[in-house]
A and B are shown apart, each in its own frame.
Chain A
Amino acid sequence: MTKQSDELNSLHKEIVILNEHLSSQKGMYEMTTAYLKNIQDELNLAKGKLEAINKDLTDSINYSKHIQDAFIVQIDKLREMIPNSFMFQSPKNIVSGDFTWAFADGEEIYLGVGDCTGHGVPGAMLSIFVISMLNEIISSNRDYNPAEILTHLDGLMFKYLTLYNATIRDSVEIAIIKLNLRKSKLTFASAKRPIVIIRNGELTMTKGTKYLLGDPYKRNEELRNFEFDLEKGDLIFLYSDGFADQFGGQNSTKFTNKRLLELLQSNSNLELCNQFEEIKETFYTHKGENSQIDDVLLLGFQI
Chain B
Amino acid sequence: MSADNTASKLLPGLNYKYDEVVKKDYGIVFALPEQHILICELFNEYTPIEEFKEIFRATVPIIEKLQTTKFIFDKQNLRVFHQPSMEWYFIEWKKEIYAKGLSAHRKILPQSEPAFALAVEAGRAKILKEFPDTIIDKLDIQYSTNIADAIAK
Q: Name A residues whose Cβ lies closer than 8 Å to a Cβ of B.
A: 17, 20-21, 24-25, 27-29, 31-32, 34-36
Contact = CB atoms under 8 A, between A and B. Distances in A.
23 contacts: A17-B46, A17-B48, A20-B46, A20-B48, A21-B80, A24-B81, A24-B82, A25-B80, A27-B82, A28-B80, A28-B82, A28-B83, A31-B83, A31-B123, A31-B126, A32-B115, A32-B119, A32-B122, A35-B118, A35-B122, A35-B125, A35-B126, A36-B122
A25 B45 CA distance: 10
Contacts of A32: 115, 118-119, 122
Given A31-B119, A31-B122, A35-B122, A21 B46 contact: yes
A27 B123 CA distance: 11
Contacts of A28: 80-83, 119
Contacts of A35: 118, 121-122, 125-126
Contacts of A20: 46, 48
Given A24-B81, A32-B122, A35-B125, 15 more contacts: A17-B48, A20-B46, A21-B46, A21-B80, A24-B46, A27-B82, A28-B80, A28-B83, A28-B119, A29-B115, A31-B122, A31-B123, A31-B126, A35-B122, A35-B126
A17 B26 CA distance: 12
Nearest to B79: A25
A37 to B, nearest CB: 10
Nearest to A25: B80
A25 B83 CA distance: 10
A36 B46 CA distance: 23
Interface in B106-128: 115, 118-119, 121-123, 125-126
A24 B82 CA distance: 6
Among B82, B115, B122, B125: residue with most chain A CB under 10 A? B122
Chain B's interface: helix, strand, loop or mixed, by majority?
helix
Interface string B17-60: 00000000000000000000000000001101000000000000
Interface centre among B80, B83, B119 (most CB of A within 10 A): B80
Interface in B79-104: 80-83
A239 B122 CA distance: 59
What 3 pairs between A and B have smallest CB-CB spacing? A35-B122, A21-B46, A24-B82
Nearest to B44: A21
Contacts of B82: 24, 27-28
B114 to A, nearest CB: 10
Contacts of A24: 46, 80-82
Contacts of B45: 21
Contacts of B125: 35
Contacts of A31: 83, 119, 122-123, 126
Nearest to B118: A32
Contacts of B126: 31, 35
B44 to A, nearest CB: 9
Nearest to B123: A31
Most buried by A among B45, B115, B119: B119
A21 B83 CA distance: 12
A135 B83 CA distance: 73
A35 B80 CA distance: 16
Interface string B125-142: 110000000000000000
Contacts of A21: 45-46, 80
Contacts of A27: 82-83
A34 B121 CA distance: 12
A69 to B, nearest CB: 51
A21 B46 CA distance: 6
B41 to A, nearest CB: 19
A36 B119 CA distance: 10
A32 B80 CA distance: 12
Nearest to A16: B48
